[in-house]
């Protein structure tokens, strides 16, 4: 996992001594810096955007940084990479969540108390499936079928949709003489 300290990036890019992420223009500068750094990361890498030393993040900055990064991640612009948020406090969570919900997006986040949560908008059945992956660590479509009593194609589609939203990793493996996808928590 690669940790991107947003406070450090803020000071390097804006040089204003602030710990607050405010205004769309500031958000654009920080997002563009993150995008340059992401381009150098290997496929499969998890990028943790660390908010632990950030004070506030307003809606426009949350939209410019988090929403646009997640949207572009899902569209494949960054390759096979994953983004999580870490060190989030309740006030930051609220503004980030509003920005994500307005665009129908979601991201896995770790609060300052280390509790992992989902921020944003996701269908209930996908939330339920993601919870299973978070608890088990990893799962195949067959295992999800057995655990939840689902049809094979239903469990496969749920897992595929979580992967497409970059809320879970997908690894190719050989099990019982055949190829299977294993979906892992990020």
- Tens digits of residue pLDDT in 155-184: 999 999 999 999 999 999 888 788 899 999
The pLDDT of residue 15: 87
The H-or-E segment that residue 179 falls in is: strand 178-185
The pLDDT of residue 176: 77
Whether the predicted pLDDT of 62 surpasses 90: yes
Do residues 56 and 21 lie in contact, with contact meaning Cβ atoms separated by under 8 Å? Answer: yes
Distance separating alpha carbons of residues 138 and 145, to the nearest angstrom: 14
Distance separating alpha carbons of residues 129 and 64, to the nearest angstrom: 29
The pLDDT of residue 16: 84
The pLDDT of residue 117: 95
Residue pointed to by tokens 């992401």 = 38
Distance separating alpha carbons of residues 63 and 78, to the nearest angstrom: 18
Give percent of the chain above pLDDT 70.
100
> In 10 A of CB 175, how many CB atoms?
11
pLDDT band of 125, cuts 50, 70, 90: very high
- Cα of first residue to Cα of last residue in the chain, in angstroms, is 9
Do residues 168 and 137 lie in contact, with contact meaning Cβ atoms separated by under 8 Å? Answer: no
The pLDDT of residue 177: 80
pLDDT band of 2, cuts 50, 70, 90: very high
> In 10 A of CB 177, how many CB atoms?
5
> Mean pLDDT of all residues in the chain?
95
10-19, 24-33, 90-99, 107-116: range with lowest mean pLDDT = 10-19
Mean pLDDT of 128-137: 95
Mean pLDDT of 71-91: 96
The pLDDT of residue 178: 84
The pLDDT of residue 155: 95
Distance separating alpha carbons of residues 108 and 140, to the nearest angstrom: 20
pLDDT tens readout for residues 7-35: 999 999 998 888 999 999 999 999 999 99
């Amino acid at each position: 996992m690669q940790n991107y300290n947003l406070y450090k990036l803020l000071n390097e890019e804006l040089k204003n001594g602030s710990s607050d992420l405010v205004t769309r223009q500031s958000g654009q500068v920080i997002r563009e810096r993150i995008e340059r750094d992401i381009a150098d990361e290997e496929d499969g890498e998890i990028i943790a955007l660390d908010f632990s030393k950030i004070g506030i993040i307003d809606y426009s900055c949350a939209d410019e940084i988090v929403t646009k990064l997640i949207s572009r991640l899902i569209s494949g612009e960054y390759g096979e990479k994953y983004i999580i948020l870490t060190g989030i406090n309740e006030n930051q969570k609220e503004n980030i969540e509003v920005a994500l919900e307005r665009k129908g997006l979601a991201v896995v986040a770790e609060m300052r108390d280390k509790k992992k949560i989902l921020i944003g908008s996701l269908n209930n059945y996908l939330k339920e499936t993601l919870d299973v992956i978070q608890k088990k660590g990893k799962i195949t479509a067959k295992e999800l079928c057995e655990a939840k009593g689902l049809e094979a194609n239903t469990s496969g589609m749920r897992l595929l949709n979580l992967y497409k939203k970059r809320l879970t990793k997908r690894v190719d493996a050989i099990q019982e003489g055949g190829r299977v996808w294993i979906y892992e928590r990020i």
